[in-house]
Amino acid sequence: MKRFLLLAIVWLPLLLSAQDTKPYLLDPEAIPAATLTKQVNKAVAAPIVTIVDKPRPSPTGDAHDYISYGRYWWPDPSKPDGLPYIQKDGHPNRELIEKGDERQLGALVNNLEALALGWSQLHREDCALRAAEWLRAWFVTPATRLKPAFGYAQIRLGRDHNQGSASGLIDTRGFARIVDAARLLHGAPGVDAAAEQAVKAWFADYLLWLTTSPNGRKEHEARNNHGSWYLVQLVAIARYLGREDDARNFAREDFARIDWQIEPDGQQPLETARTDGLSYSLFNLEAQLRVARLAAPLGLDLWNYTAPRGGSLKQALAYLKRFDAAPEQWPHQQLAKQQAGFLRPLLDAAAQLDRAAKRS
């Protein structure tokens, strides 16, 4: 008995630590080893770019500010200077987008995720060490650290004194993947306790800004995909910070969101109204399934929930499945071409939710 107790004392903290490092959204085992190895090798070789590596000087005068421009906004041809810009939904202004910081932020998200998987699945120390460098560069080192505020996300030139818009917070949806990666890197080589605490302090500051700033509060109220992706961030970051009650309260909001977003037949009217209705229906449901996965360990079953009006995540998935083999039969607007089989990632996510429900 004494020997058993001794082993328990030794191993229990290790087991708890292992549980703490499980990702919320990633499914590491779902990626074939050969594919993962290619992604990891590319991430190890990728140069570290930070928020201060801007394509042009920051319009705010501070290189640590995140800057981006509204993707569907164009110069007004009836105005000599084109200002204020006008919206052309479904027509991205790629030249303008490239002037912002989306590319650098995307590099952080993709490379950090690959490196974290390289450490957790392939047990490669070089991945952990490189991931630690990315984390320090973006969230710790004063010279290259990102500001935990996004008041200049998706600027619409000539409007709102060239301040950012609430909808610009869609740019930061990848932060849920970053905290997933950070969990996988807990205790990894190069990620010491001080660095980990500094990253958590950054996300605590960001969560405060996200929930109290005018743009954050407005995005919280958004009923379409913007509100869904905002909720993904809230729940993921709150859980990463150990604020389980806050995370549970945020996730609980989604019961009402499902009701107003999804019709009994599975259509999502706020998304089908867009010029790329299929793409946006898919985009919103992706966010919803992520919220459901984040909420399940908190005791909230969004996946099996049917709202008072009859809508549900399962109905939304079933509706989109009707067009998976023939997206050209989509009955609403869709400018950007979707390929057959577009639904596979969400079908896989749904299967994960089903498996998790059976285990609980």
- Assess if residue 12 is contained within a domain: no
Pick the last residue of a domain from 185, 216, 247: 216
Pick the last residue of a domain from 216, 231, 253: 216
Are the C-beta atoms of residues 231 and 246 closer than 8 Å to each other?
A: no
Same domain, 38 and 143: yes
Same domain, 357 and 243: yes
Question: For 280-314, what is each residue's pLDDT tens digit?
Answer: 999 999 999 999 999 999 999 999 999 999 999 99
Strands (E), the chain: 73-74, 86-87
Dist CA 355 CA 14 (whole Å): 26
What pLDDT sits at residue 13? 32
CATH number of residue 293's parent domain: 1.50.10.100
What pLDDT sits at residue 21? 61
What pLDDT sits at residue 20? 53
Dist CA 250 CA 261 (whole Å): 17
Dist CA 36 CA 353 (whole Å): 23
Q: What residues make up the domain containing 57?
A: 28-216
* Nearest of 340, 343, 301 to residue 321 by alpha carbon: 343
Same domain, 127 and 192: yes
Place of tokens 């800004």: 209
User: How confident is residue 218, by pLDDT bands cut at 50, 70 and 90?
Assistant: very high
What pLDDT sits at residue 58? 97
Number of domains in the chain: 2
Are the C-beta atoms of residues 147 and 64 closer than 8 Å to each other?
A: yes
- 189-192 long-range contacts, Cβ below 8 Å, gap at least 24? 189/125, 189/128, 189/129, 189/132, 190/128, 190/129, 190/131, 190/132, 190/133, 191/128, 191/131, 191/132, 191/135
pLDDT at 43 over 80: yes
- Assess if residue 5 is contained within a domain: no
Question: For 137-194, what is each residue's pLDDT tens digit?
Answer: 999 999 999 999 999 999 999 999 999 999 999 999 999 999 999 999 999 999 999 9
What pLDDT sits at residue 27? 74
